[in-house]
Amino acid sequence: MIDKELIKNKINFIQKELDRLGGFKDLSFEEIISDYFKHTVVERILERIINDAIDINQHIIAELKESGVPNDYKETFEELVNLKVFDKDFAMDVSQSVGLRNILVHNYRKLDEKLFYKSIKSCLSDYTKYCDYILKFIKKNGN
C-alpha cells in the first residue's frame, strides 16, 4: 500500500529545498562557481531533491509492481511512466538529473560547471512539475 504520508512529507521537503534553491537562480555563473559556500550549498540542495525523488519513485514502484524496483535510479523515473504517473517526455527530462546526482555523490567525474549552473533552473522547473505529478497521482490512486 502506498504510504501517502511518507510521500507527502518527502514532497514537502523537496518543495522547501526548491524554495531554497530558488534563492540562487538569479545569481550569475561566476557568483556560484567562484564562491565555495554557494557552490557547495547548491550541490547539496540538488542532491537532496534528487535523492528524495528517487526514494518516492522506489516506494511507488515497490508498492505497485510485483517485479520489483529497478537498480538504476534513472529507470525509476522511466518506470513511473508505465505506472501512469507522468508521460515519457517528462520522465526523460527529469531523469537526466540522476547523472548530475551521481557526479555530485560519487565525485567520479569532473563536474561540468556550465551544466551544473544550468541545472539550477532546470531543477526548479522539473521538480516543481514532479511534485505536482506525484501529488496528483497519490490523490487519484491512494489506498
Sorted by where each begins, the domain ranges of the chain are 4-141
> For residues 10 and 113, which has the higher predicted lDDT (pLDDT)?
10
Angle between helix axes 113-141 and 88-95 (nearest 10 degrees) is 140
Alpha carbon dihedral 30, 31, 37, 43, in 10-degree steps, equals -70
What are the grid coordinates assigned to 7, written together? 510521500
pLDDT of residue 99: 76
Closest CA to 87 of 136, 124, 121, 122: 136
- Identify the CATH homologous superfamily for domain 4-141: bsu32300-like (1.20.120.580)
pLDDT of residue 108: 58
pLDDT of residue 109: 62
pLDDT of residue 47: 92
pLDDT of residue 86: 94
pTM of the model: 0.91
pLDDT at 65 over 60: yes
Share of the chain above pLDDT 70, in %: 94
CA distance readout (Å), 99 to 14, 112, 123: 18, 11, 13
d(CA 99, CA 123): 13
d(CA 15, CA 46): 12
